[in-house]
């Protein structure tokens, strides 16, 4: 009985499940479909019970189906001063229906002024689709093809706060109603503080209405005011330039007058920018096209002016240290002083590099280009890499080589080097080139990469002492001991010849008619040593010419048919003569 009852119960449950299963599945599927449909609708628009109940029906000329058409329609209605119709593009749900008509018209007028002055708005950049989906043929954007119900129109700052003006897509609860794009209620609440910041200035309130009409991208009064504005700013800059120049003359000679003379131009531009900023904030305000350009230009000028003044201060300090510690740039100064000057130049390049990076970051952050430039740079990273690699290869190579020279210090400021056969003093090591002062006071600018790729001789790497070699070509009969004594005497008379115990004079070569005598002397400095060598040579030549002219090299010409070496009597010879002949001296070092 129990077994039969259990079997019967299982049979009844099986039949019930068989008939009820499809229905339950269909019910669950229908519920899931409704949820999916609701989620899809929530991603496309905001569902509301009513829109702007306090306003009349929206006129036909109000187009709100896409973000682009909505803003274009708003600006056109604002130009026509039909702010009652323009209020239909605002979501006034935060206002009571009784207030929406009056306050909506005023808010539309204020928003139009904000959009004209606050940010340069390009309507073509707004989405032209009803769902505002991002269209990216490459498919790289992560939200390509996905509908949006909220997009940013502008981001403005007022009183240190950031306010976003956004567009939202709204649809009244009825299924047949079309979704429209309106300024969101939060953005409508931000109109008042933004209008206080970007509303008409004191000057514009007193301009006749006929001059406020649009003429091209600007208004009529702006075409007149902008040249006057620039002229006034230019007069301020000219005055500052003259005042700083006068201060440079009044300051005592030294680093104050030099610094004042160097900052005339950047200081005048900096004051011009600050005055222009004050006028734009409190006296006059232009439309977004002009204001955006002027403000970006002012930001760049301010950053450049501050950076230039800072670099001029570093240069002044560097110049003062150079004059106090090092003095004239040559290798007569101690090695530590020349090393210090080289390190200061390297520090200057580091400061310049840091300043340039800081200025670039400041400018980009102020003009808010990081968001737009970021995606562009990432999308075109390969192209930029190729361009930098090709166009900037030489510049980057010189900069890296400059840092290498400054750190390794194969040369120092003031070193005397032999570069491509010329004596040169290292006068400056810069980012892309090295400035050399040639012995005849010419300046030779050599690219850093070219300089480090060529062999050079640093005559001051340890000390400025240099061995000099003086050579004389004399007859075989010249008395070497007497000549050595004269050489030692003359060499010790020269102040620039040092270490007298290293003075040497020996015969270093011999031919059938002459002998080569080399004299070695140590000099304190290459250039002065060259002069000392010339003095000693001249004195030795004068001694030989005045006392032993027979020491000059000469050739013997035999005019007989038989060689005099055969020992014949002099009378048997037809004639013979010894004719002294000067040989061609070998440059400045031999006679």
Confidence of residue 115 (pLDDT cuts 50, 70, 90): confident
The whole-number average pLDDT for the span 564-578 is 46
Confidence of residue 366 (pLDDT cuts 50, 70, 90): low
Q: Does the structure show a pLDDT above 80 at 471?
A: yes
237 exposed, middle or buried (CB, 10 Å; 0-12, 13-18, 19+)?
buried
Span 409-459, pLDDT tens digits: 778 777 888 888 888 888 877 777 888 888 778 888 888 888 888 888 787
Q: CB under 8 Å to 454, separation ≥6 — which residues?
A: 419, 420
Confidence of residue 540 (pLDDT cuts 50, 70, 90): very high
Confidence of residue 306 (pLDDT cuts 50, 70, 90): confident
pLDDT of residue 412: 78
Confidence of residue 175 (pLDDT cuts 50, 70, 90): low
Higher pLDDT among residues 369 and 416, named by residue: 416
pLDDT of residue 15: 43
Give the whole-angstrom CA distance, residue 170 versus residue 175. 12
Partners of 434 in the β-ladder: 429, 446
- 34 CB neighbour count, 10 Å cutoff: 10
Q: Does the structure show a pLDDT above 80 at 518?
A: yes
The whole-number average pLDDT for the span 347-375 is 66
The whole-number average pLDDT for the span 172-176 is 69
Give the DSSP letter string of 480-539: HHHHHHHHHHHHHT-TTEE-GGG-EEEEEEE-SSEEEEEEEEEESSHHHHHHHHHHHHHH
Assign domain 392-462 one CATH number from 1.10.1740.10, 3.40.47.10, 2.30.30.60, 3.40.50.720: 2.30.30.60
Give the whole-angstrom CA distance, residue 428 versus residue 435. 5
Q: Is 93 helix (H, G, I), strand (E, B) or coil?
A: coil
Q: Does the structure show a pLDDT above 60 at 18?
A: no
Confidence of residue 174 (pLDDT cuts 50, 70, 90): low
Give the whole-angstrom CA distance, residue 282 versus residue 286. 12
The whole-number average pLDDT for the span 163-171 is 89
The whole-number average pLDDT for the span 212-217 is 68
Please report, rounded to a whole number, the percentage of residues in the chain having pLDDT higher than 90.
Answer: 7
Helix boundaries (H) for 322-412: 335-366, 370-379, 381-391, 393-408
pLDDT of residue 237: 87
Sign of torsion over alpha carbons 402, 407, 412, 416: negative
Q: Are 330 and 259 in contact (CB under 8 A)?
A: no
Q: Are 460 and 416 in contact (CB under 8 A)?
A: yes
Q: CB under 8 Å to 164, separation ≥6 — which residues?
A: 152, 153, 154, 155, 186, 187, 190
The whole-number average pLDDT for the span 509-528 is 85
Sign of torsion over alpha carbons 5, 6, 11, 17: positive
Q: Does the structure show a pLDDT above 50 at 24?
A: no
Least-confidence region, from 42-46, 305-309, 481-485 = 42-46
Which residue reads 């090092």 in tokens? Answer: 326
Judge if 392-462 and 466-551 fold alike in CATH terms.
no
Give the whole-angstrom CA distance, residue 298 versus residue 183. 32
Q: Does the structure show a pLDDT above 50 at 4?
A: no
Give the whole-angstrom CA distance, residue 109 versus residue 122. 19
Q: Are 226 and 242 in contact (CB under 8 A)?
A: no
Confidence of residue 57 (pLDDT cuts 50, 70, 90): confident
Higher pLDDT among residues 140 and 93, named by residue: 93
pLDDT of residue 561: 52
* Mean pLDDT score across all residues of the chain: 75
Confidence of residue 212 (pLDDT cuts 50, 70, 90): low
Q: Does the structure show a pLDDT above 70 at 570?
A: no
Which residue reads 């305000």 in tokens? Answer: 285
Q: Are 99 and 53 in contact (CB under 8 A)?
A: no
Q: Nearest Cα to 227, choosing from 294, 296, 275?
A: 294
Q: Nearest Cα to 163, choosing from 148, 176, 175, 153?
A: 153
Confidence of residue 584 (pLDDT cuts 50, 70, 90): very low
Least-confidence region, from 73-82, 89-98, 205-214, 251-260 = 205-214
Please report, rounded to a whole number, the percentage of residues in the chain having pLDDT higher than 70.
Answer: 69
Least-confidence region, from 1-15, 112-126, 390-404, 457-471 = 1-15
Span 332-349, pLDDT tens digits: 555 566 667 777 777 777
Q: Does the structure show a pLDDT above 60 at 386?
A: no
Q: Does the structure show a pLDDT above 60 at 80?
A: yes
> What is the DSSP code (8-state) at residue 418?
E
pLDDT of residue 378: 44
Confidence of residue 369 (pLDDT cuts 50, 70, 90): very low
Assign domain 466-551 one CATH number from 3.10.50.40, 3.40.50.1360, 3.30.70.1150, 3.30.70.100: 3.30.70.100
pLDDT of residue 589: 42
Q: Does the structure show a pLDDT above 80 at 403?
A: no
Cα angle for residues 17, 18, 24 (degrees, 5° grid): 65
Q: Are 305 and 267 in contact (CB under 8 A)?
A: yes
Where do the domains of the chain lie? 40-132+146-199, 218-327+338-367, 392-462, 466-551
């Amino acid at each position: 009985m129990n077994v039969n009852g259990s079997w019967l119960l299982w049979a009844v449950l099986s039949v019930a499940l068989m008939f009820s299963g499809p229905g339950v599945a269909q019910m669950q599927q229908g519920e899931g479909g409704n949820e999916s449909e609701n989620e899809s609708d929530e991603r496309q628009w905001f569902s509301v019970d009513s829109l702007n109940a306090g306003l009349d029906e929206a006129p036909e000329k109000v187009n709100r189906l896409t973000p682009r058409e909505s803003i274009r329609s708003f600006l056109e209605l604002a130009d026509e001063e039909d702010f009652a119709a323009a209020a239909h593009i605002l979501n006034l749900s935060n206002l009571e229906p009784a207030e929406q008509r009056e306050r909506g018209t005023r808010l539309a007028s204020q928003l139009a002024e904000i959009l004209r002055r606050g940010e340069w708005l390009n309507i073509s950049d707004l989405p032209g689709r009803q769902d505002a989906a991002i269209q990216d043929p490459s498919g790289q954007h992560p939200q390509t093809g996905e509908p949006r119900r909220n997009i940013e129109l502008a981001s403005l700052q007022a009183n240190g706060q950031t306010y976003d003006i956004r567009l939202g897509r709204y649809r009244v609860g009825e299924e047949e109603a079309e979704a429209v794009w309106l300024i969101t209620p939060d953005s409508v609440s931000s109109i008042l503080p933004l209008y206080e910041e970007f509303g008409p200035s004191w000057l514009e309130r007193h301009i006749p209405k006929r001059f406020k009409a649009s003429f091209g991208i600007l208004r009529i009064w702006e075409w007149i005011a902008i040249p006057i504005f620039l002229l006034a700013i230019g007069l301020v800059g000219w005055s500052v330039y003259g005042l700083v120049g006068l201060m440079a003359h009044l300051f005592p000679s030294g680093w104050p007058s030099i610094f004042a003379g160097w900052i005339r131009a950047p200081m005048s531009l900096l004051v011009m920018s600050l005055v222009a900023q004050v006028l734009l904030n409190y006296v006059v305000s232009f439309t977004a096209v002009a204001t955006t350009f002027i403000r970006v230009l002012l930001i760049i000028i301010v950053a450049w002016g501050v950076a230039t003044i800072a670099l001029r201060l570093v240069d002044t300090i560097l110049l003062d240290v150079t004059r106090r510690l090092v003095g004239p740039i040559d290798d007569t100064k101690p090695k530590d002083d020349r090393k210090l000057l080289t390190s200061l130049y390297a520090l200057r390049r580091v400061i310049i590099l840091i300043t340039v990076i800081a200025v670039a970051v400041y400018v980009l952050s102020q003009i808010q280009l990081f968001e737009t430039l970021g995606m562009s740079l990432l999308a075109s990273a390969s192209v930029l890499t190729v361009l930098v690699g090709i166009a900037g290869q030489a510049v980057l190579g010189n900069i890296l080589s400059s840092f290498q020279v400054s750190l390794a210090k194969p040369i120092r400021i003031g070193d005397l080097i032999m570069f491509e056969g010329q004596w040169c003093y290292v006068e400056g090591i810069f980012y892309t080139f090295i400035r050399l002062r040639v012995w005849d006071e010419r300046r030779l600018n050599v690219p850093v990469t070219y300089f480090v790729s060529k062999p050079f001789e640093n005559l001051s790497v340890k000390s400025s002492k240099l061995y000099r070699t003086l050579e004389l070509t004399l007859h075989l009969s010249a008395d070497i001991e007497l000549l050595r004594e004269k050489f030692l005497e003359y060499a010790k008379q020269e102040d620039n010849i040092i270490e007298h115990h290293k003075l040497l004079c020996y015969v270093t070569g011999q031919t059938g008619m002459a002998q080569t005598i080399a004299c070695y002397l140590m000099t304190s400095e290459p250039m002065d040593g060259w002069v000392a060598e010339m003095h000693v040579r001249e004195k030795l030549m004068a001694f030989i010419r005045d006392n032993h002219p027979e020491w000059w090299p000469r050739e013997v010409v035999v005019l007989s048919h038989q060689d005099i070496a055969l020992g014949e009597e002099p009378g048997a010879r037809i004639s013979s003569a010894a004719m002294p002949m000067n040989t061609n001296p070998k440059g400045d070092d031999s006679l």
